[in-house]
Amino acid sequence: MALNSVEYIFREVFNSIRRNVWLSIASVLTVMISMVILGASVFFLLNASNLASNFESELEIAVFAQDDLNSADVKALGERLTDLAGVDTIEFVPKDQALKNFTGSLNSTTIAADLGDTNPFPDKYTVHVVDPQQVENVAGQITELTGVDNVVYGKNLVEPLLKFTKWLRWAGTTVVGLFAIASLILISLNIKMNVFSRRKEIEIMKLVGASNAFIRWPFILEGMFLGLVGGLLAILLVGFGYDWLADYIQTTLAFMPVVNETELIGKVLGSIVLLGMGIGAAGSVISLRRFLKV
């Protein structure tokens, strides 16, 4: 493409935005609103998934050793637990430490004296699994091991919790999908209106011999520019809004995990800008097709 043509295209982009300033503003606002909605839904999905993972990470299996095992047998039990399929990590809590933790939690100095040499607590292993969905299966395997007295993993809570985390992820994905479709439709309609308002200009250019590419590029670049501006405005709103909301949640609901990884947030915001530019360009190309058939 000749330098003069490139200069003409960029000049035409600038003139077009200036001539159709209100349509350009409408396009920018449409992209901005759509990207804000989409960005907010993406952050909702990230936090929903993070919350689900946090719940799942709390799932653990308490394995109580038989009281008559010696230290070698208890150690051997730990090795067998480690070798089980699906086990991620194990943590050993000896009976003496369990008693110490118990008396410390009650802030009592008389319990140990009252018990004398008696320790009602058994040695315990806390088992974490690789896949939370396999908690019940792993617990069943542990029950069959020699030296195990009791296995506790909250059987009545595990299944409802896993169903809830699955629903949470599904809900987040659905919200993102619906808002993505709505954003695409909204932006496409706006671009079509913009192109339609300039259909006479396109027809005249075709009649005087301009190529499709020559006609198309100013619209593509204009769409990308308007998408860029709308995307930048969107990330300002989404970025500051999410930062404020995350701080508020962490202050008022300290137990609630919030996604605050700077790199991940930066990738999401950067993707919003690129998506805005991409939709602007794609919308221009699609909307131009019918008017280029003169």
Q: What is the pLDDT of residues 237-288, one digit of tens each?
A: 998 998 898 888 888 877 777 888 888 888 888 888 888 888 778 777 777 7
**Each residue of 161-173: pLDDT tens digit?**
677 777 877 877 7
**Each residue of 8-42: pLDDT tens digit?**
667 766 776 777 777 778 778 888 888 888 888 88
Torsion angle of C-alpha atoms 232, 233, 238, 240, degrees rounded to 10? 100
Query: Residue 283 and residue 224: Cα distance in Å, rounded?
Result: 10
CB atoms within 10 A of CB 236: 13
Instruction: Give 67's pLDDT tier (boundaries 50, 70, 90).
Output: confident
Using N-to-C axis directions, what is the helix angle for 262-288 and 212-252, rounded to 10°? 150
- How many angstroms from the chain centroid is the CA of residue 100? 41
Token pair recorded at residue 111:
């319990």
- Helices assigned H by DSSP within the chain: 3-19, 21-57, 71-83, 95-106, 111-115, 135-143, 155-196, 199-207, 212-252, 262-288
Query: Residue 260 and residue 273: Cα distance in Å, rounded?
Result: 20
Half-sphere exposure of 280 (CA within 13 A, CB side): 31
Contact 90, 128 (CB under 8 A): yes
Domains of the chain: 1-55+159-292 (no CATH), 60-153 (3.30.70.3040)
Contact 191, 27 (CB under 8 A): yes
Q: How far is CA 228 from CA 43, 46, 214, 263, in A?
A: 20, 24, 22, 21
Query: Residue 158 and residue 7: Cα distance in Å, rounded?
Result: 65
Q: What pLDDT is recorded for position 98?
A: 73
Q: What pLDDT is recorded for position 208?
A: 78
